[in-house]
Amino acid sequence: MNTWPAELPALLAHLWKRLETAGHIVGDPFRTVALATATDGEPAARIVVLREADAAARTLTAFSDNRAAKVQELRRNPHAQWLFFDPRARVQIRASGPLTIHHGDDVAFRAWEKVAPANRANYAAPFPPGSEIAAPTLALPMPFDHDAGRDHFTVIRATIERLDWLELGEPHHRRAAFAWTGREWKDRWLVP
């Protein structure tokens, strides 16, 4: 069944509404998203949690550790594609646009204040993410160093300029593209 709106403007509004909802609902299928980078010709993709989507600002936000490979890659090439998938609706969304890395600035400090205490340890590993260790427990900060977490905490924020939406549905599959012109979204139907 085709479950998303039939008209392009309503479809775009629904798309952003779904992402905004996913930004604060744990378990929403769009809450986890594949973030794909391309640096020096090397593609790399990984799952991150969507922390916030803002339709008016056209932004998508994720959190990471400043020492992570993806953050280094995004500093070199601040463009990424965000790949969302809702298996029940059979909807795929690809979103892309330039990114800003916020580390040690107001955006990062404000976001850190809202990170739940239990999640703060995610950013406080004593060694950089991806370092080889002898056992998994060696990645845990002991005792938990709150300041280390704050110092590594990084906000990845993209301003979306292109959206590609695809629904595998009945009676037909549908695909739409939305491009930001600088003033408004230009919408089109595409062959799926």
Q: Binder to ligand FMN among 62, 95, 99, 176 (CB under 6 A)?
A: 62
Binding piece for ligand FMN, criterion CB under 6 A, among 56-64, 102-110, 112-120, 171-179: 56-64
The dihedral through the CA atoms of 44, 115, 161, 31 has a sign that is: positive
| CB closer to ligand FMN out of 104 and 130 | 130
Answer for which of 3, 130, 144, 170 binds ligand FMN (CB under 6 A) is 130
Minimal distance, residue 147 CB to ligand FMN, in Å: 19
The least distance separating ligand FMN from the CB of residue 109, rounded to whole angstroms, comes to 18
- Are 80 and 35 in contact by the 8 Å Cβ rule? The answer is yes
Stretch that binds ligand FMN, among 65-73, 83-91, 108-116, 145-153 (CB under 6 A): 65-73
- Does 46 bind ligand FMN (CB under 6 A)? Our answer is yes
**Cβ nearer to ligand FMN, comparing 52 with 167:** 52
List residues near ligand FMN by CB under 6 A: 32, 44, 46-49, 62-64, 68-70, 129-130
